[in-house]
Structures are given as structure tokens and as C-alpha cells.
Amino acid sequence: MKVNTMAEMMANGQTPEILFWVGCAGSFDQRAQKITSAFATILDKTNINYAILGKEEACTGDPARRAGNEFMFQMMAYQNIQTLNGYNIKKIVTTCPHCFNTLKNEYPALGGNYEVIHHTTLLQELIEQGKIKFTDSNEWKGKSITYHDSCYLGRANEIYEAPRKVLESLDMELREMKRCKSKGLCCGAGGAQMFKEEEKGDKRINAERADEAIETKSDFVASACPFCNTMLTDGLKNREEEVKTEVLDIAEIIAQAIQ
Amino acid sequence: MALVAEIIFILLTSLALFSFAKKLGKIGRNIHLGKAVIINDQKASRFKNILLLAFGQKKMFRNPLVAILHLFVYVGFIIINIELLEIILDGITGSHRLFKPYLGNAYNFLINSFEILAALVLFACIVFLCRRNIIKLKRFVSKDLKGWPSTDANLILAIEIVLMSLFLLMNAADKESNFIVSRHLRPYIQNYSPSTLSLIEESCWWLHILGIYAFMNYLPYSKHLHIILAFPNAYYAPLVPKGQMHNMPSVQNEVLYAMQPELAPAEATVPDKFGATDVMDLSWKNLMDAYSCTECGRCSTACPANATGKLLSPRKIMMATRDRLEEVGENIDKNKQFVADGKTLLHDYITVEELRACTTCNACVEECPVSISPLDIIIELRRSLIMEQSNAPSEWNGMFSNIENNFAPWKFSPDDRDAWAK
């Protein structure tokens, strides 16, 4: 797969219609890299003219800011906004709800104004516009799936429907967990928890959420955030002797069904 | 004799109003100890929030059954206050049912409505008492409420039950009246002599109105203050997406001047503090949040950390903030200005372990029926821990240095950022 960077495009005098902000998890985490590739495949197949920042991309500063390190957040934001504005970026799509939230809601106050969309919203649009067509042997049809709301997509930005509509377009049977949508239970990774041990308690948050997902007795668990994906996968691992459920990103599901 | 009663009544009314206003003034002053933030944009949306969240109790309807019971108490409280107007005027003028001659049949309709509401309030309060003390709902028996807060909650319900009962009994003892609920009480008292009945009516009248005055003066010391502050709190609720954190222009400028020194003003002023260690470092909205909290615990039930046995409880964050603010207020009352007492909100009231457990998932903010953000306070305290006290778990320090050196929270080479595409 050939993925263009902004620098390459610029050198060729081209302007992409959209920048794909990959994010740190999507770039470095082995599991999340698969999500990144799946989404890039979809962008390719739908002939979307996109680019990535490549080596010029840097952490948005989200975990630093939420941990309380505003200095580090401001430094990262300054650097990224310089890069983005330097390339005159207008529209960004990202597969990470944390990057999405920061780029969309927190960069404008610092001089970074872009139209930012999450990949589930873009996928929903592409399906509605008929730009994503599914293969005749839609292997997802009739399979049951439960969707885990990412806090930074759901409560933080009130995106509850796009990922669900994408799954329904595949004729999957959507089963809701006890706590879903605005009542969705966090996977345990937000607020920089991903980067530290949990405080002491009775149970791990990801185990609690994995149990709720198991209760739905679904064939698959869908997520739309690389961190939720990791947390839920870990949570399910503890119960793998009893249940075999795989956590898949919405993009991975679509990538497997697309023509 | 009647004149003496009127004078006593007027004096008691003035005293009740005066001391209530005085305490409210103190609370207003305490709220303004918080940092000044200006919230005056999008007035139309803010008024809409008052209608939806405060009057309409939109968030309460996430659980319709409880919402309806709460609505009985709330509507009852507001509407029965219309009757209070007559009761007060009767007390001042020495009249009996002052409005009756002017309103005719409408008067009976009004009092009948009040009585139905009073009965509904009674019913709801009894159910609420059962939920707290017999069913023992988890959020009502949490350790957050141990001691005074739990007594406070039961006391409020008990007072409302007593007040409603007095109102109904008063009407039952009024031999000239025949109202829809109170007439069913009459068989129990009909054997009393007319003079006893009028003594019962008069006693109920006095106990009812004095009870209301006492309750009014109890409000500012109680979680029940939400009946007043829910309204301004809805108005000043943030209108931005919940995921958006407050920017810190002071830090933004520090970074900007470091990167582009030519932009730095000749006399750069460095703020004396980053983040919050005590109530005075929080915004006045954070402090109003603390006084608005009704300690219902919906936040803590929804909190993923609390649900899995961590020390963090968003409700406790709000209660601790209010307790500390009250303490600071008393300190100012005593010393004319705040004299350092060796305590701070951070550490003495809210511990590092609690702050560290938050996933910033916004579940607490989403649940709060009166537009409180415990998350805002947690973040301000976290900022102080990191930026003022360099107090971070070692894993976070590693994460910070990775971001600084490798531009990612993990230790990967930035050159490999696009390796997935190869």
C-alpha cells in the first residue's frame, strides 16, 4: 500500500482532500496498526485523495493534558498546529477519539482551526453516499455484535449513532450492553490511565466492561478507539477459557466487507 | 390578644427572612472567593438550559419512576408556596383565609389542588425514606454519606412529611371548610369540641409556618440548597462539548514566548500558581457547583473508578469542596480575612489516590441532574499536582519524557511513525 505523506504531496504540487491523522496508538501499537491499515485500505478503495503527516505527526498532547501536564500539552499543540497550518490543512479524519477530541475541540483556542471528523462518521457518510459497497458474500450478515461507546466519542462529543449505523448497514445484529450510549461504561484507559497502573480497588475497569460485553453473548465486540480496543481485548483475555469473543474496530469490519 | 399574635408573627417572619438572607449573603461571598471567570455568552442557550435542566428536570428523567416522585415533591413545593402567601398575609393581618371571599369557587379549587399535591409530596417522601432506610439503595448507604450527610437527607424528608401533615391537619380542623384530602381526616377528630378543633387548627397553622421558616433557615446548611442553586447552576453550565477542557492561557503564553521570544512582552508576568490546591484557586462556578450538590450520588454510581472499588467518588469531591469552602468562610468570618490554617483542599480533603483514579470519562458530568462538573475540580487539582508539586506516578513521568523526546507516549523512534505503511 502506498501512503502519501503531506511532504511528498506538497513536493508534487498536490493537495489532498483530507489528512488522515493516524495518532500514536495507530502508528506504534501493533494491534492498532491493523486498524490503521484497515482504514487506509478503505480510503484507497473509495478513491479518497488523502495524506498522512508521517514522521511530522506528533502526540496531540491529550494524555499529558489530562494527567495535569498543561505545559507539555501546550508544547505539543504548538508544534502540531505549526505543522498543520504550514500545510494549510482544512480537513482531518482520525481513527482515535482522543486525537479527534483534542484536534476538534481544543486546538481552535490555540489557533488550529480544522474540520475534524472521526472515522466512524466518515464511514457512515461513505456508506450513505454509496461509495462503500459491500461484497455479495457479506460474511458479517446476521452475526451478533455489541458496540462499546468510547467516552471521547460518546459523552465527550455525542457521537452515538454513526458507529451503530455502520454496523447495521452490514445487516449485523446489534446487541446493546447494559450501560450504553450516554451511560456507557469507560474501558478504563482515558485520562492517561492507559499509561499507569490502576489505583487499588476490587476489580479492573476493563474486566468490568468485558463482563458486560460477555453478558450480551455477542459473536463480536466492536470498538471505535484503539485504547478501548486494547483494554477490552485484555479484559476478555481473562475470560478466554469461557468465551471466545474478538474485539474489532469498526474500520476493520468494513475493510473485510468492502468490494 | 390577636394584635399580640400579629406582632409576634411579623417579628418572627422578619427574623426568619433576615437570618436566611444573611446566610445566603455569606454563601454568595464564599462562592466569590473562587477565581473570576466570565460566563455571559449564548444567553438564549443558557435560558433554555434553565427551562430544560432546572424547571424541566431533564436529567432526572433518565430514571422516569424516580423522576415522577421527585416531580411531585418539586411541583408540590413550588405550588404550595402560593398558599404560603395567604398564610403569611393571614398572619400579618390577623385574618382567616384572606383570599377566600375574593376567589369564590376558585379558592376551593386551589386549596383542593394544594391538598392533592401535599398528599403526593407525602407519598413521595415516604417512598424516598424507604429507599434510603429500608431498601438501602447502594448510593444512599455509601461511605460518602456516613454521619451528618445521611442524617441531613432523612431530616429533610421528615420535615417535609411533618409540614405536609400539618397543612392537611390544619384544613381538616377548619370546620367551615371541606377540602378533598383533609375531609378524610375529619372522622378522626370530629368528636372534639369546637374550641379544641380551633385550637388544633391554630396550632397547626403556627407549627406549619414556623416549620417553614425553620426549614428555610436550615436550607443553606443542607444539601437541600439545590432547590435554589439548581437554577443558576443550569444557567452557567458549560455549553461546549464535554470533552473540551478549559484552556490555560497563562501556560499557552509561556510556551508561545519560549518558542517565539520576540512575542514576549517586556515585563512578562508569571502567574503565581498553576492549577488549584485550595478552594480559592477554583473558579466561582466550581464553588457554586459544590453548594448545588444534593449528594444524590448518581455521579458516583456511574463512575467507573467508584464502581470498581477505587477510592474516588465524584460526589465526595463535591462534598469535600463544600466542606472546605465552609471552613474557609468561617475562618474569614473570625479573622476578617483568610488566615492560613495549614490545610488545603488538595491532600487534606481530597487525596492524591482519589485524583489518580479518574479516567476523565465524563460519566459523572453526564449524570448530574444539576449541571455539576466534579471532573473540572479533579483536573484543576491534578494540574497542581503535576505542575506545582511534580507529583506524578513514575509511569506518567516516563510517558511525559517519551512525549517530549519521541513525540509519542511510548518509547518508539519518531522515525518509525509511518512504519505501518511500509
pLDDT in tens, B194-214: 999 999 999 999 999 999 999
Q: What is the pLDDT of residue A246?
A: 93
Q: What is the pLDDT of residue B52?
A: 94
Helix ranges restricted to H, B134-193: 148-173, 186-189
β-strands A115-118, A91-94 pairing? parallel
Percent of chain B, pLDDT > 90?
Answer: 89
Output b/e per residue, B317-356; b: 16+ Cβ within 10 A: bbbbbbbbbbbbbeebeeeeeeeeeeebbbeebbebebbb
* B361 and B283 within one domain: yes
Percent of chain A with pLDDT strictly greater than 90: 95
Is B113's pLDDT higher than 70?
yes
Residue A48 neighbours by CB under 8 Å, 6+ apart: A17, A18
Closest residue of chain B to A109, computed from CA coordinates: B247
Helix/strand/coil for B188 = helix
Helix or strand (DSSP H, E) at B12: helix B2-31
CATH number, domain containing residue B346: 1.10.1060
Residues B204 and B299 in one domain: no
Q: Does the pLDDT of residue A84 top 60, yes or no? A: yes
Number of compact structural domains in chain B: 2
- What are the chain A neighbours of B351 within 8 Å (beta carbons)? none
> How far from chain centre, in Å, is Cα A221?
14
Looking at the structure, do residues B223 and B278 belong to the same domain, yes or no? no
Closest-CA distance of chain B to residue A131, Å:
23
Query: Within 13 Å of residue B26, how many CA atoms lie on the same side as its CB?
Result: 19
- The secondary structure element, H or E, covering residue A144 is strand A144-147
Secondary structure of residue A258 in the 3-state scheme: strand
In a domain, B193, yes or no: yes
Taken in order of first residue, the domains within chain A and their CATH numbers are 6-123 (3.40.50.1860), 135-257 (3.40.50)
Is any Cβ of chain A less than 8 angstroms from the Cβ of B352? no
A71 touches B: beta carbon within 8 Å: yes
Q: How far apart are CA A123 and CA A170, in angstroms?
A: 12
Residues B72, B213 within the same domain: yes
Helix (H, G, I), strand (E, B) or coil at B313: coil
Which chain B residue has its CA at the smallest distance from A29's CA? B410
Same domain? B223 vs B317: no
The mean predicted confidence, pLDDT, of chain A is: 96
Which run of H or E residues covers position A124? Answer: helix A119-128
* C-beta separation of B220 from B23 below 8 A: yes
Return the closest-CA partner of residue A258 out of A127, A109, A152: A127
Chain B positions in Cβ-Cβ contact with residue A65 (cut-off 8 Å): 245
Strand pairing partners for B35? B283
CA-only gyration radius of chain A, Å: 18
C-alpha B246/C-alpha A73 separation (Å) is 12
Residue B288, domain member (yes or no): yes
Q: What is the mean pLDDT of residues B38-48?
A: 96
Q: Which candidate, A183, A156, A164, A14, places its Cα nearest to that of A98?
A: A156
User: Cα(B284)–Cα(B289) distance, rounded to whole angstroms?
Assistant: 8
pLDDT tops 80 at residue B2: no
**Confidence at residue B1, expressed as pLDDT on a 0 to 100 scale:** 55
Please check whether residues B279 and B214 belong to one and the same domain.
no
In a domain, B51, yes or no: no
> Comparing A22 with A138, which gets the higher pLDDT?
A22
On the question of pLDDT at B180 being above 80, the answer is yes
Its domain, for residue B117, covers 2-20+61-227
Rounded CA-CA distance B81/B87 in Å is 9
CB distance from A93 to chain B under 8 Å?
Answer: no
Q: What is the pLDDT of residues A37-78, one digit of tens each?
A: 999 999 999 999 999 999 999 999 999 999 999 999 999 999
The position carrying cell 441532574 is B369
Amino acid residing at B322: R
Residues B188 and B278 in one domain: no
Instruction: Give me the mean pLDDT over the B166-182 stretch.
Output: 92
Residue B117: inside a domain: yes
The tens digit of pLDDT for each residue in B44-94 reads 999 999 999 999 999 999 999 999 999 999 998 888 878 889 999 999 998
Contacts of A182 in chain B (CB under 8 A): 366
**B212 and B71, same structural domain?**
yes
Same domain flag for B202 and B80:
yes
**Residue B21: burial class (beta carbons within 10 Å; 0-12, 13-18, 19+):** exposed
**Searching chain B, which residue's CA lies closest to the CA of residue A31?**
B420
Closest CA to B94 of B8, B163, B175, B168: B8
My answer on whether B202 and B300 are in the same domain is: no
Rounded CA-CA distance B375/B377 in Å is 5
What is the arithmetic mean of pLDDT over B380-409?
A: 97
A202-229: pLDDT as tens digits: 999 999 999 999 999 999 999 999 999 9
Which pLDDT score is estimated for B268? Answer: 67
Task: Enter the pTM of the model.
Answer: 0.96
For B368, residues 6+ apart whose C-beta sits below 8 A from its C-beta are: B59, B298, B299, B374
Chain B neighbors of A110, CB-CB under 8 A: 247, 252
Q: Is residue B49 part of a domain?
A: no
List phi, psi (to 5°) of B396. -70, -40
Q: What is the pLDDT of residues A91-134, one digit of tens each?
A: 999 999 999 999 999 999 999 999 999 999 999 999 999 999 99
Q: Does residue B342 surpass a pLDDT of 70?
A: yes
Give the span between the Cα atoms of A22 and A28, in whole angstroms.
Answer: 10
Is B280 in contact with B384 (CB distance < 8 Å)? no
CB < 8 Å from B in window 145-164 of A: 151-152, 155-158
Lowest mean pLDDT among A31-45, A161-175, B164-178, B378-392: B164-178
Query: Are B87 and B207 in the same domain?
Result: yes
CB contact under 8 A, A55 and B243: no
Per the domain annotation, does B416 fall within a domain? no
Is there a domain that residue B132 lies in? yes
Q: Which three cell numbers stand for residue B208?
A: 406549619
B70 and B155 assigned to the same domain: yes
pLDDT at A1: 79
* pLDDT exceeds 90 at position A2: no
User: What is the Cα–Cα distance from B77 to B296, expressed in whole angstroms?
Assistant: 19
Judged against a pLDDT cut of 80, whether residue A3 lies above it is answered with yes
- Whether B261 is in a domain gets the answer no
